[in-house]
């Protein structure tokens, strides 16, 4: 963990990607909202791990690493870790399905506005919570 500016870059890009998620929502592209929301969450949680000087794994769901290192998070924000991990796991399950679908599932037919709204709300929550944690780390 030598390049701490990467943590700030990841968080900044997570904030900016929320605008892309909002644009996709406006276009009613529900599977793309889900997919992009997952990427926001992934990038944001990887920013947090970097800020905490934790090696960032090359996987899409870093919840297990975050959970293992919850004591590195400022005490006042530790109760939020379980929710961040839950969101990461949930959105990770939809990552490929939302983009590619399967032989028996077409993403644009499968994902509905409620799925997109849930994913978008979760992404916003993760970015906000991680920003709050960043603000507490010296």
pLDDT digit string, tens, across residues 57-77: 999 999 999 999 999 999 999
Region 113-132 average pLDDT: 98
Handedness of CA 2, 76, 132, 136 (dihedral sign): negative
Q: What's the whole-model pTM score?
A: 0.95
How many C-beta atoms lie closer than 10 Å to residue 16's C-beta? 10
Query: Closest by alpha carbon to 42, among 73, 87, 6?
Result: 87
**Residue 1 predicted with pLDDT over 80:** no
The CATH number of the domain holding residue 116 is 1.20.120.330
Question: What is the domain range of residue 19?
Answer: 5-136
Residue-level pLDDT at 4: 79
**Burial class for 96, CB neighbours closer than 10 Å (0-12, 13-18, 19+):** middle
Q: How many domains does the chain have?
A: 1
* 3-class DSSP state of 105: strand
């Amino acid at each position: 963990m030598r390049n701490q500016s990467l943590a700030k870059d990841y968080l900044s890009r997570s904030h900016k990607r929320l605008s892309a998620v909002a644009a996709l929502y406006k276009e009613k592209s529900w599977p793309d909202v889900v997919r992009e929301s997952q990427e926001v969450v992934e990038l944001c949680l990887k920013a947090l791990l970097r800020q905490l000087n934790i090696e960032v794994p090359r996987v899409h769901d870093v919840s297990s690493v975050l959970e293992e290192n919850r004591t590195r998070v400022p005490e006042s924000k530790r109760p939020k870790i379980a929710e961040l991990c839950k969101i990461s796991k949930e959105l990770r399950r939809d990552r490929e399905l939302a983009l590619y679908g399967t032989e028996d599932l077409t993403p644009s037919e499968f994902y509905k506005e409620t799925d997109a709204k849930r994913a978008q709300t979760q992404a916003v929550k993760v970015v906000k919570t991680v920003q709050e944690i960043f603000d507490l780390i010296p």
